[in-house]
Amino acid sequence: MTLTTPYDVQALRATMEGSLIAGEDPEYDEARRVWNADIDRRPALIARCASSSDVASAVGWAREHAVEIAVRGGAHSMSGASSVDGGLVIDLSAMRSVIVDPVAKRARVGGGALLGDLDAACQAHGLAVPAGMISHTGVGGLTLGGGMGWLTRKAGLTIDNLLSAEIVLADGHIQRTSDQEHPELFWALRGGGGNFGVVTEFEFQLLEVGPIVDFGLFFWSLDQGTQLLRFFTDLMATLPRDLNIVFAALNAPPAPFVPERYHFQPGYALLLTGFGGTEQHAAVAARIRAFEPPLFEMVNPMPYLAVQQLLDEPNAWGHFNYEKSTYLTDLSDDAVDVITDHVPRKASPMSVTLIYRLDEAYCDVAENDTAFGGKRTPQYSVFIIAVAPDKQSLGPDREWARSFWEALQPAALGAGSYVNSMAEYDNELLRATYGTDKLARLARIKSEYDPDNFFHRNINIKPAESRGTI
């Protein structure tokens, strides 16, 4: 099926260096495809921008013609915010440059770059930006919502390492912003999502990482869940910031290091990453084994780039996905009971639960220094991710994720959710996530830079004039 656009697009095409793709073009179906296969939208046009000027032209054209827009970077939006039926997709995927200054330890990164692009360019100099854990994720969407991963305990969120940004505003103006230039806008970009414009370039502070780091995966059966969660809590309380552990409930992969009898078996794993030396990592690995010998393990020095790609395959394009997340102050007995009760209920072997510990460098940044939707006190972030090979199979695990999340809310005490994992949201969840004061400040900034809410295909924060409906 082809989709013929009703718009006169010649004026836009004439102003763009990049390409403009319409429904009748042979590359249209591939160009409209996004990471989450559960999202199947048909935009009228896709503006594959080559520069900030192209983005400004696309924004101006869409406003002039009252066309709905979506902004696409890595196309990883769980909610499908990177596409739109019948409107214009502003596609940044051609803007993937990464320029590293190894002396100043800074990088300028195009708005369409993927984490893999950023990691590879920085690792050529033994440097890195704290970011996510899937290399085909877009830098832009990840950064604007916060950005957490292996390096969060050591160096904070991605936004904590952002120095400046170039953004195309709703009026088409191209603006540089930082702590010195339009500081309120810069504050809002660090956690406020895509509400304020299209970010076409990020400038990051880099830190020394790798090129070799230490990694370990340890796996136990489902009946070890309660004891393992309590051990995980005790271990994290003593862990130096150069080490990180992600707790995972998943099915064992059919990997060469996994004995065949455990292939696809559901269970629990600890993923231990070390940035402070092999001896330090080995000492913690020994403590893990002393808790209870795992069914299997894999402990190796690995290139940082390889660690950043470990989760790429189970999160590959073409799967059907849905996600919920919540914050927990601690893993109380009630929370542990909910987790161990719900993990075995999933239907799809592809679905997973991940728990991150947020402390150390994460807490070095003050609560209101950024717009991040989460408190800067030690806590856990729980991700409940439904993954299935087809739409029909996703249904039961979507309901599993929702019921799991609901059951955790008494332990969460209204702490909200991580913005980047919101497949859906409502006003109450936004208030719980940002807090009343931070949400009001974001709404005031929104009213200054996007008073008409032109950029609303996101986790939307309405302008202050509409704050009664926020």
Give the pLDDT band of residue 369 (cuts 50, 70, 90): very high
- Residue 186 φ/ψ, nearest 5 degrees: -65, -40
Q: Which helix (H) or strand (E) holds 42?
A: none
Give the pLDDT band of residue 358 (cuts 50, 70, 90): very high
Give the pLDDT band of residue 7 (cuts 50, 70, 90): low
| Overall average pLDDT of the 366-385 stretch | 97
Distance of CA 140 to the CA centre of its chain: 9
Every domain of the chain and the residues it spans: 10-91, 98-208, 212-421, 435-469
| Overall average pLDDT of the 168-174 stretch | 97
Is the pLDDT score of 391 beyond 60? yes
Give the pLDDT band of residue 414 (cuts 50, 70, 90): confident
Is the pLDDT score of 207 beyond 70? yes
CATH number at 212-421: 3.40.462.20
| Residues 273-295 pLDDT 10s | 999 989 999 999 999 999 999 99
**pLDDT, the chain, mean:** 95
| Residues 107-149 pLDDT 10s | 999 999 999 999 999 999 999 999 999 999 999 999 999 999 9
Please state, in angstroms and as integers, the Cα–Cα distance from residue 212 to each residue in 155, 245, 444, following that order.
17, 17, 45
Is the pLDDT score of 224 beyond 90? yes
CB neighbours (10 Å) of residue 318?
Answer: 9
Is the pLDDT score of 8 beyond 90? no
Domain spanning 10-91, CATH architecture: 2-Layer Sandwich (3.30)
Distance of CA 132 to the CA centre of its chain: 6
In the chain, the largest separation of any two C-alpha atoms, in whole Å, equals 69
What percent of the chain clears pLDDT 90, i.e. is strictly above it? 94
| Overall average pLDDT of the 171-196 stretch | 97
Residue appearing with tokens 């009343």: 436
Give the pLDDT confidence score for residue 467 in this predicted structure: 41
| Overall average pLDDT of the 221-239 stretch | 97
Give the pLDDT band of residue 5 (cuts 50, 70, 90): low
Contacts of 457 (CB under 8 A, 6+ apart): 68, 69, 70, 71, 81, 84, 194
Is the pLDDT score of 2 beyond 90? no
| Overall average pLDDT of the 363-386 stretch | 97
What percent of the chain clears pLDDT 70, i.e. is strictly above it? 97
Give the pLDDT confidence score for residue 156 in this predicted structure: 98
* DSSP 3-state of 168: strand
Give the pLDDT confidence score for residue 79 in this predicted structure: 92
User: What global pTM score does this model have?
Assistant: 0.94
Is the pLDDT score of 468 beyond 50? no
| Residues 306-338 pLDDT 10s | 999 999 999 999 999 999 999 999 999 999 999
Give the pLDDT band of residue 168 (cuts 50, 70, 90): very high
Is the pLDDT score of 78 beyond 80? yes
Give the pLDDT confidence score for residue 1 in this predicted structure: 36
d(CA 449, CA 386): 36
Same fold, 10-91 and 98-208: no
The amino acid at residue 260 is E
Is the pLDDT score of 299 beyond 50? yes
Domain spanning 98-208, CATH architecture: 2-Layer Sandwich (3.30)
Distance of CA 388 to the CA centre of its chain: 19
d(CA 205, CA 66): 38
